């Protein structure tokens, strides 16, 4: 890219970037209001479902003594999986100095924060006695994977918030300075406070870069742990279908697939809604597509290992489990996830056409849906087939069927996650203004100038 040299050009270019990237914040139309109304309504209905559940007990769900983990835990695993895209995009790719990933990283953090926050909330919703959550701190046993999970989920959330916030600081100062009277007063005040007295001098930038680098390195072990430990919730048991040694990496790679597809969808929505064609270009989708193929191929490799090896042996209990997946009641979900959600995308996305924004986003929707199916298939079928026969219990104990309350609470988690993403997108620019300016060769000194046009 041509370096912009002259001050006038720099200022002009910066003005354009600022006006482009703050459009999302100033946008006020019916659609925005409608969207927030829908989100809040559904999230509210779900919360009401949870109050019903806390009052009447988990008996309002379709879970039983055999399938004692259901939609909530499947959703928990799904959210943890999706959140891992934050680690991949805003840490690994940045550390590798892959420059196209820069404008994408804030959107990745949106997903990471929303997903991991909801993962934490949904696990509380699954508890029989959420009122005793404090016991985990009073009587916590470090031998239990749940304690490890709690530790890493909260650490990951904290680091993700910092990874979102620190690169935001220069933007906050810049917006408080430069944006015109169309910016509501409370937002300007909020930006000023959150900017923590940022002036944009070299020393401050140096500190910020340093902090970011530390966080980017820190988040790698934490991020890998969060999903590995989540997989251990299952792999630490003796049950067929869970008793597997590759669950850790298998979950991590599956998470990258789910997270990349979620990010592509979000990029497409931002691009369309906020007119960001010049920032999320076709090139970005092309690269994301290639990344998606890469992680999907690794995921395919793990899937082959996870299913082919036990199928070859057909141990008794394992065999029963695999039969339900391959040809039993879960065959549709299973093959959909494997073929439509994994194999076909790998083949299609290798064609240039399918890496264009719209086709890639549509494929990503299918992948994300399959990713959810996959989490359901990891949690539920195993529990329907314990070692000993299920006898002397009501028929409903044999098969898991989620109830409406459960689905309500599940919808809450989805809409609450979308709500967090939407609020972040409405409150702050979805792409780092100063990073784009830096990328275009605009000197940092112009960032802290007051806009001349106003």
Partner 1 sequence: MEKKTRRNFMKTLGASVGAAGVLGGGSLLSSCNRVEEVAGDKITLLTSSGELVVVDRSQLKPAELPSLTENQKRGRKGLPGRSWVMVIDLSKCRNARECMKACQSHHQLRPEQHHINVLQMQDSEDTAPYFMPKPCLHCDNPPCTKVCPVNATFKREDGIVLIDNERCIGCRFCVAACPYSARVFNWNEPRNAEKYEGVTYNIEANVPQKKGTITKCLFSADRLREGQLPSCVSACPNGVYWFGDKNEDAVTNGTTKETVSFSKLVKDGAAYTLMKELGTRPRVYYLPPKGQVASPIEGDHS
Alpha-carbon gap, residue 126 to 76, rounded angstroms: 9
Report if residue 245 touches partner 1, rule: CB under 8 A. no
Q: How near is the Cβ of 138 to partner 1 at its closest, in Å?
A: 8
Stretch that binds partner 1, among 50-58, 158-166, 270-278, 443-451 (CB under 8 A): 50-58
Give 403 or 451: the residue with its C-beta nearer to partner 1: 403
Instruction: Out of 97, 181, 389, 450, name the contact with partner 1 by CB under 8 A.
Output: 389
User: Do 21 and 433 contact (CB within 8 A), yes or no?
Assistant: yes
Instruction: Out of 1, 181, 186, 238, name the contact with partner 1 by CB under 8 A.
Output: 238
Q: How near is the Cβ of 388 to partner 1 at its closest, in Å?
A: 5
Site string for partner 1, 196-235 (x = CB under 8 A): -------------------------------------xx-
For the CA atoms of the chain, what is the radius of gyration?
23
41 Cβ contact partners less than 8 Å away, ≥ 6 residues apart: none
Give 129 or 290: the residue with its C-beta nearer to partner 1: 129
Report if residue 404 touches partner 1, rule: CB under 8 A. no
Phi, psi of 29 (to 5 degrees): -145, 180
Report if residue 51 touches partner 1, rule: CB under 8 A. no
User: Do 277 and 326 contact (CB within 8 A), yes or no?
Assistant: no
Sign (positive/negative) of CA torsion 328, 332, 338, 339?
positive
Report if residue 278 touches partner 1, rule: CB under 8 A. no
372 Cβ contact partners less than 8 Å away, ≥ 6 residues apart: 74, 78
Report if residue 58 touches partner 1, rule: CB under 8 A. yes
306 Cβ contact partners less than 8 Å away, ≥ 6 residues apart: 244, 246, 250
Instruction: Out of 97, 139, 203, 313, name the contact with partner 1 by CB under 8 A.
Output: 139
Window 113-132: residues binding partner 1 (CB under 8 A): 126-130, 132
Phi, psi of 266 (to 5 degrees): -65, -40
Q: How far is CA 293 from the centre of its chain?
A: 18
Report if residue 383 touches partner 1, rule: CB under 8 A. yes
Q: Which residues bind partner 1 (CB under 8 A)?
A: 56-59, 61, 63-66, 68-69, 126-130, 132-133, 135-136, 138-141, 143-147, 150, 233-234, 236-239, 383, 386-394, 397
């Amino acid at each position: 890219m041509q370096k912009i040299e002259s001050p006038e050009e720099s200022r002009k270019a910066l003005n354009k970037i600022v006006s482009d990237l703050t459009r999302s914040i100033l946008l006020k139309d019916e659609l925005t209001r409608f969207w927030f109304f829908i989100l809040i309504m559904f999230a509210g209905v779900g919360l009401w479902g949870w109050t019903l559940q806390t009052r009447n007990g988990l008996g309002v769900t379709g879970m039983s003594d055999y399938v004692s983990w259901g939609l909530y835990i499947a959703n928990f695993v799904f959210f943890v999986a999706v959140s891992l895209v934050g680690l991949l995009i805003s840490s690994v790719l940045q550390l590798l100095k892959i420059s196209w990933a820069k404008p994408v990283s804030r959107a990745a953090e949106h997903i990471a924060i929303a997903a991991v926050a909801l993962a934490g909330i949904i696990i509380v919703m699954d508890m029989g006695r959420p009122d005793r959550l404090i016991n985990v701190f009073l009587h916590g046993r470090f031998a239990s994977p749940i304690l490890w999970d709690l530790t890493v989920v909260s650490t990951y959330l904290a680091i993700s918030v910092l990874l979102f916030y620190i690169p935001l600081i220069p933007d906050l100062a810049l917006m408080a300075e430069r944006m015109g009277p169309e910016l509501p007063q409370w937002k300007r005040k909020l930006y000023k406070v959150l900017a923590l007295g940022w002036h944009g001098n070299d020393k401050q930038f140096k500190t910020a870069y340093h902090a970011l680098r530390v966080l980017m390195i820190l988040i790698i072990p934490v991020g890998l742990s969060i999903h590995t430990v989540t997989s251990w919730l299952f792999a630490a048991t003796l049950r067929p279908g869970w008793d597997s040694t590759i669950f850790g990496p298998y979950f991590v790679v599956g998470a990258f697939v789910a997270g990349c597809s979620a990010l592509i969808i979000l990029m497409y929505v931002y691009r369309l809604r906020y007119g960001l064609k010049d920032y999320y270009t076709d090139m970005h989708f092309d690269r994301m597509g290639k990344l998606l193929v890469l992680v999907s191929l690794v995921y395919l490799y793990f899937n082959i290992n996870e299913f082919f090896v036990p199928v070859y042996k057909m141990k008794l209990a394992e065999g029963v489990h695999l039969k339900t997946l391959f040809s039993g009641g879960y065959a549709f979900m299973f093959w959909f996830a494997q073929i439509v959600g994994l194999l076909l995308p790998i083949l299609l996305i290798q064609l240039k056409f399918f890496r264009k924004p719209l086709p890639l986003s549509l494929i990503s929707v299918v992948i994300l849906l399959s990713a959810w199916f996959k989490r359901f298939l990891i949690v539920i079928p195993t529990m329907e087939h314990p070692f000993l026969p299920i006898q002397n219990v009501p028929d409903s104990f044999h098969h898991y069927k989620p109830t409406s309350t459960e689905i309500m609470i599940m919808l809450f988690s989805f809409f609450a996650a979308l709500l967090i993403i939407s609020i972040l997108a409405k409150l702050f620019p979805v792409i780092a203004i100063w990073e784009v300016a830096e990328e275009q060769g605009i000197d940092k000194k112009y960032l802290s100038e007051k806009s001349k046009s106003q």
